[in-house]
């Protein structure tokens, strides 16, 4: 049924009027209430970045206080990565079944409690277990924040706003470094974990009071019409007063009413889903290979330790470029934009190996590589959110993030194996550049099997098997 929402100042709608949820969101300005939803999700992602990076900031203090060696910290440093994967893989299907808000709130509580408990750890074994638990919460929070935010965005600005929210992650990680440098000398390393645990628990109160459930999810699950009307009134004002029936049309085919993984892996989505997994996996191979090994590689190339560290720190700073990519994705073919970003990433990573002997040029190349890498990688969740219908969106985003985490683990070992094989520095960077080309190829394959992403292609929308009407 064609949606017939009325304007804010229009005449009263007839009792039989129906309105499509996304049309209402698209036809009205981005409201202060939607900015509130954005702010809550942004803070969640910011805390996610802070807690994910916290273990790296306290590692030197652990070595000093507990008398452990760097290799002994390996399980502690990697435990959160496995937790992140497990949390993402489990949280997506749960959110598509029980709702985004419920799973997101529980996830914030889990990583808050686990991080706070980590501050009381008395040894490596206890800290390893608690870091895994922290990772479970962090892994569940990120994809649901992306999904919830994307479902409150107007279609023409969805990628840009979602990417802007995602910028909270690198900002949280960087902000954590500054705070840790100030807090540890005064109160010790445990204070960083206390802050990383208490803040999410305080945020939980705001989430319970202010964060709404996704209105698209509520229509798909046939929630009470008055509850849906109350949410949409915050966006569309009086335009929803006379509406008796809210419907949800999908520009993406709904092929499995069960939703979740059954939808994500159904025939029309299967190959595109695998390509998204491959692209995100390969992106994290590069990210963790570079973040973990750049300082050591630059030192081996003859740079003094301070210079090597400072130049290496430029690599993860470029994530803010995701806003620009989001703007481009909303206006042009998103798959092509990100594929081009990964191709340029490959060139920039290769160029690092060619410019190590020229410090001035190396600074520019490392920053460019980091900007391209982080921008392309940070834009993939928005691409995934746009790829799936409502009943599989949380699962689709979460499983891409979860599978991708194993790429981070692989990236950490890749450079070690290359160095063990005695490859030259230029050869190491040449090999590390290859995964970006694989990501680009995967996105172009996804585009070929997804013609609805092309501008001007017909958008064969069909109603989801669920609509809400007043009785």
Q: Please state which of the four CATH numbers 3.40.50.300, 1.25.60.10, 1.20.1250.20, 3.50.50.60 is assigned to the domain occupying 27-217.
A: 1.20.1250.20
pLDDT at res. 168: 85
| Model pTM above 0.85 | no
Output the pLDDT for position 319: 62
- 3-class SS letters over 193-237: HHHHHHHHHHHHHHHHHHCCCCHHHHHHCCCCHHHHHHHHHHHHH
Coil, strand or helix: which one is 304? coil
pLDDT-based confidence at residue 41 (cuts at 50, 70, 90): very high
Residue the block writes with tokens 């990697």: 78
What's the whole-number average pLDDT of the chain? 84
Q: Coil, helix or strand for 303?
A: coil
CA–CA dist 179, 184 (Å, integer): 8
**Residues in CB range of 135: below 8 A, 6 or more apart:** 79, 80, 81, 82, 83, 84, 85, 86, 87, 111
Per-residue pLDDT, averaged over 294-311, amounts to 77
The pLDDT of residue 16 is above 70: no
Question: Which phi and psi (to 5°) does residue 249 adopt?
Answer: -100, 145
Q: What are the pLDDT digits (tens) for 179-214? A: 887 888 899 999 999 999 999 999 999 999 999 999
Domain 265-453, CATH among 1.20.1250.20, 3.40.1160.10, 1.10.150.20, 3.40.50.300: 1.20.1250.20
Q: How crowded is the C-beta side of 200, counted as CA atoms within 13 Å?
A: 32
- Nearest Cα neighbor of 282 from 418, 439, 399, 433 is 439
* pLDDT given for residue 460 in this prediction: 39
2 or 121: which carries more pLDDT confidence? 121
Contact 179, 53 (CB under 8 A): no
Residue 324: predicted pLDDT: 84
Query: What pLDDT does 136 receive?
Result: 94
Which tens digit of pLDDT belongs to each residue from 218-239? 988 888 888 998 999 999 888 8
Backbone dihedral angles phi then psi of residue 157, each to the nearest 5 degrees: -125, 15
User: Which regions of the chain carry the CATH code 1.20.1250.20?
Assistant: 27-217, 265-453
């Amino acid at each position: 049924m064609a949606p017939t929402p009325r304007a804010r100042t229009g005449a009263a709608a007839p009792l039989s009027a129906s309105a499509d949820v996304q049309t209402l969101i698209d036809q009205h300005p981005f409201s202060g209430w939607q900015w509130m939803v954005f702010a809550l999700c942004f803070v969640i992602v910011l805390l996610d970045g802070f807690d994910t990076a916290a273990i790296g900031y306290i590692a030197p203090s652990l070595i000093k206080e507990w008398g452990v060696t760097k290799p002994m910290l390996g399980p502690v440093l990697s435990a959160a990565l496995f937790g992140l994967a497990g949390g993402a893989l489990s949280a997506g299907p749960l959110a598509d079944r029980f709702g985004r808000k419920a799973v997101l709130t529980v996830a914030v509580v889990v990583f808050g409690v686990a991080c706070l408990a980590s501050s009381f750890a008395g040894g490596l074994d206890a800290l390893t277990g608690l870091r895994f638990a922290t990772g479970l919460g962090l892994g569940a929070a990120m994809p649901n924040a992306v999904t919830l935010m994307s479902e409150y965005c107007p279609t023409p600005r969805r990628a840009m706003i979602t990417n802007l929210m995602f910028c909270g992650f690198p900002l949280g990680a960087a902000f954590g470094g500054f705070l840790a440098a100030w807090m540890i000398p005064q109160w010790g390393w445990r204070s960083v974990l206390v802050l990383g645990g208490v803040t999410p628990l305080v945020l939980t109160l705001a989430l319970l009071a202010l964060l709404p459930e996704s209105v698209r999810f509520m229509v798909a699950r046939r929630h009470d019409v008055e509850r849906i009307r109350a949410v949409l009134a915050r966006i569309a004002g009086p335009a929803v007063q006379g509406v008796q029936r809210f419907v949800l049309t999908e520009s993406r085919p709904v092929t499995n009413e069960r939703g979740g993984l059954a939808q994500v892996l159904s025939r029309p989505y299967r190959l595109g889903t695998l390509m998204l997994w491959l692209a995100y996996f390969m992106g994290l191979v590069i990210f963790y290979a570079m973040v973990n090994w750049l300082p050591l590689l630059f030192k081996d190339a003859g740079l003094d330790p301070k210079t090597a560290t400072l130049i290496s720190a430029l690599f993860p700073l470029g994530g803010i470029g995701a806003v620009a990519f989001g703007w481009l994705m909303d206006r042009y073919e998103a798959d092509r934009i990100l594929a081009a970003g990964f191709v340029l990433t490959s060139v920039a990573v290769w160029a690092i190996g060619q410019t190590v002997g020229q410090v001035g040029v190396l600074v520019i190349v490392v920053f460019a590589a980091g900007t391209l890498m982080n921008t392309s990688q940070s834009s993939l969740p928005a691409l995934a959110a746009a790829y799936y219908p409502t009943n599989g969106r949380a699962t689709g985003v979460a499983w891409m993030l979860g599978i991708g985490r194993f790429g981070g683990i692989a990236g950490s070992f890749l450079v070690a194996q290359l160095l063990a094989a005695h490859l030259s520095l230029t050869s190491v960077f040449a090999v590390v550049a290859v995964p970006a080309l694989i990501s680009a190829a995967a996105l172009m394959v996804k585009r070929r099997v997804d013609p609805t992403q092309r501008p001007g292609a017909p958008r064969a929308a069909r109603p989801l098997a669920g609509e809400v009407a007043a009785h």
